Structure 1
Amino acid sequence: MANNFVTVGMKFPEFEKRSVVSIEKGNEFKEISNKDIDGRWAVMFWWPKDFTFVCPTEIAEFNKNYTNFTDRDTILLGASTDSEYVHHAWRMSHNDLRDLRFPMIADTSKSLADELGILSADERVAYRATYIIDPDGIVRWVCVNDLSVGRNVAEVLRVLDALQTDELCPCNWSKGEATLEPAVG
């Protein structure tokens, strides 16, 4: 088990995982890796388990905001430690998940979640972790919620906007607002 937590300023770990990318027969699965996000902004969000209650609300909200991410030249990736077959079955059986536009990564070995340091101690499922990764593969923001608390997708977009300005953004800053100018002494 990893002793560290991957955090801001660190390189996002290398990975290659089987993922559900479609419910179309014959095109359901694809390998997703770092190569798919190299040179681009990426948001990877994790949920604890498929076929649960809070998770589909988050996944559906990320999907509703998919174009908000692509408009920011950002790749959206979802992940859990469930298998690609469980992901596929869940997509097929849950109306809010059938038309997802981003991959559901299957970290069945739990190796990536372990390397990130986001596995719960008891069940060894992923916490609700969200990573914003810059085009150089560096983690620029991470937020981890407890298993029972859903995240705020609007906040993920707000932070992504702030990071993409590459400027100083004050508390509660939103896209379109003025950034801060450092005092020149």
Structure 2
Amino acid sequence: MGIIGSQIKPFKATAFQAGKDFFDVTDEDLQGKWSVFFFYPADFTFVCPTELEDMGEKYDMLQQMGVEVYAVSTDTHFSHKAWHDTSEKIGKLRFPFLGDQLHTLSKNFDVLREEMGLADRATFVVDPDGVIQIMEITCEGVGRNANELTRKIKAAQYVRENPGQVCPAAWEEGSDTLAPSLDLVGKI
């Protein structure tokens, strides 16, 4: 796929967010901030609300980390509002939902299932320079874990802020990191 390390492509999408009027979000709005694009197949479905609720439980923490979450499906912003107004789980969520009915974002991130007009269950973390640092795609029946995503974002932020350091497997904030060098070859 070659998407890790690539620059986010230009886009414009209309968003629904609780307590706000509809508004547009563009690639320019992401500059200088960490962003999560949380693609899901469709509103009014089954696994999707459980994942979105899980993400909602981490939203305050992510905001404190300087991260904005954008839930994205190929539904319209009107559908997002209707789902928010009728679902107990979705009604609690405060992050923006982007309408992608023209499939611009789904195509930009290469997650559109053309034959169905739906996005894959996929997550992308974009750094403040608009570069994709993390991606995860699962099959439709497998939900994601917001705890693991939050851990990965903390690691990506640490690596960005500490050049020359890397985070080993299962790294948690405050744990030891590695400084890759010839001295470490064959010793890990």
Report how far residue 115 of structure 1 moved.
Answer: 2.3
Distance 2:79 2:66 in 1: 29
Aligned length: 178
Distance 1:108 1:124 in 2: 9
TM-score by length of 1: 0.91
Query: 2:137 matched to 1:139?
Result: no
SS for the counterpart of 1:79 is strand
Root mean square deviation, CA, Å: 1.4
Distance 1:98 1:178 in 2: 39
Indicate the residue corresponding to 1:9 in structure 2: 5
Structure 1 runs, 4 residues or longer, greater than 4 Å off: none
**Residue by residue, what CA displacement relative to the aligned partner does 1:55-97 show, whole Å, maximum 9, x if unpaired?**
0001111111101111211111111000111111100000111
In the alignment, structure 2 segments of 5+ residues that lack a partner are 160-164, 184-188
Query: 2:118 matched to 1:119?
Result: no
Q: How does 1:19-168 map to 2 (within 5 A)?
A: 19-22=15-18, 24=19, 27-166=20-159, 167-168=165-166
Distance 1:177 1:73 in 2: 21
- Residue identity over aligned pairs, in percent, reads 31
Amino acid at match of 1:10: S
- The structure showing larger relative contact order (alpha-carbon pairs under 8 Å, at least 6 residues apart) is 1
Report how far residue 116 of structure 1 moved.
Answer: 1.5
In the alignment, structure 1 segments of 5+ residues that lack a partner are none
SS for the counterpart of 2:91 is coil
TM-score by length of 2: 0.89
Distance 1:100 1:31 in 2: 19
Report how far residue 176 of structure 1 moved.
Answer: 1.3
Distance 2:37 2:104 in 1: 15
**Residue by residue, what CA displacement relative to the aligned partner does 1:104-135 show, whole Å, maximum 9, x if unpaired?**
00001012201221012431200011011011
Distance 2:2 2:88 in 1: 34
SS for the counterpart of 1:65 is helix
Amino acid at match of 2:50: T
Among residues 177, 180, 183, which one is paired with 1:182 in the alignment?
180
Does the CA-based 8 Å contact 1:49-1:82 persist in structure 2?
A: yes
